[in-house]
């Protein structure tokens, strides 16, 4: 069981896409499991065995759980069977929050977030989160479970995030965990970490903090006054949050 369940298509997706948020969540006391659909064996760098070792190292450093499904890299497709497999993970983990790569592919094939497996994973997870709660759906093993929210990371560069998580205090620890994916450090001519840090810097600038990770949600988020007032100087009427 985990408060937070993060799906990725490939071993590095969760850590590269929202790893500093994962550190922030776990250090705040939340339990978190990463579920990876494939071992990333079709990637340019690293074998399936090497990449599995890297994701296990990352999970150990984070202090989170890990689950590895048996989809094949580049063969992740939305289907009834795919949804059932993912819904079973949701039923077993019973998370309040589900995270997945953003479900809509952008046109630019050079956008690092535009791997078709990422979009397919987001689409599968969106349906599976719903399937997990249908008591009459007997093909899904486990007790029905209704997660509170599904939130997407790996926001395409052509899209504006709708949620930004301040991760300024977690960047060093995040980098140590992301570097567990050693086979992927040659991406972008060896400048992948520099690139991922710069993206977080740009996101941070949008909310006046040093570093932030960006997300999109299709769900309406309930208005919560203490949440929106937090950080605001309080005088008349205090306390709020």
* Count of residues near Zn ion by CB under 5 A: 2
| Least Å from the CB of residue 133 to Zn ion | 27
The Cα–Cα gap between 241 and 231 comes to 9
Integer angstrom CA distances of residue 165 from 53, 124, 170, 214: 28, 24, 11, 7
Integer angstrom CA distances of residue 238 from 215, 231, 233, 241: 31, 13, 10, 9
Do the Cβ atoms of 123 and 80 come closer than 8 Å? no
Site track 13-52 with Zn ion (rule: CB under 5 A), x = hit: x---------------------------------------
| Tokens coding 37 | 């659909």
| Least Å from the CB of residue 5 to Zn ion | 17
Of 49, 45, 50, 51, nearest to 9 (Cα)?
A: 51
Q: Does residue 73 bind Zn ion (CB under 5 A)?
A: no
Which stretch, 11-19, 54-62, 74-82, 123-131, contacts Zn ion (CB under 5 A)?
11-19
Q: Does residue 10 bind Zn ion (CB under 5 A)?
A: yes
- Closer by beta carbon to Zn ion, 13 or else 88: 13
- Closer by beta carbon to Zn ion, 113 or else 204: 113
Chain positions contacting Zn ion, by CB under 5 A: 10, 13
């Amino acid at each position: 069981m985990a408060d937070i369940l993060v799906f990725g298509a490939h071993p590095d997706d969760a850590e590269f896409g929202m790893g500093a948020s994962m550190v922030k969540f776990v250090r705040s006391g939340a339990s978190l499991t990463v579920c990876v659909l494939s071992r990333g064996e079709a990637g340019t760098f690293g074998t399936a065995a090497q990449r599995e070792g890297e994701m296990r190292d990352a999970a150990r450093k984070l202090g989170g759980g890990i689950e590895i499904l048996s989809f094949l890299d580049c063969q992740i497709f939305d289907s009834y069977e795919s949804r059932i497999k993912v819904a079973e993970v949701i039923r077993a983990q019973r998370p309040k929050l589900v995270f997945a790569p953003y479900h809509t592919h952008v046109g630019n094939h050079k956008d690092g977030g535009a791997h078709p497996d990422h979009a397919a994973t987001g689409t599968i997870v969106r349906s599976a989160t719903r399937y997990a709660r249908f008591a009459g759906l007997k093909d899904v093993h486990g007790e029905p479970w209704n997660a509170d929210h599904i939130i997407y990371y790996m926001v395409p560069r052509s899209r504006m995030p709708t949620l930004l998580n301040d991760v300024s205090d977690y960047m060093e620890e995040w980098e140590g965990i992301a570097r567990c994916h050693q086979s992927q450090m040659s991406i972008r001519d060896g400048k992948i970490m520099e690139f991922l840090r710069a993206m977080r810097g740009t996101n941070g600038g949008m909310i006046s903090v040093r570093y932030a990770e960006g997300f999109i949600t299709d769900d309406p988020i309930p208005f919560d006054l203490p949440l929106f007032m937090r950080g605001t100087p309080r005088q008349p009427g205090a306390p709020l949050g």
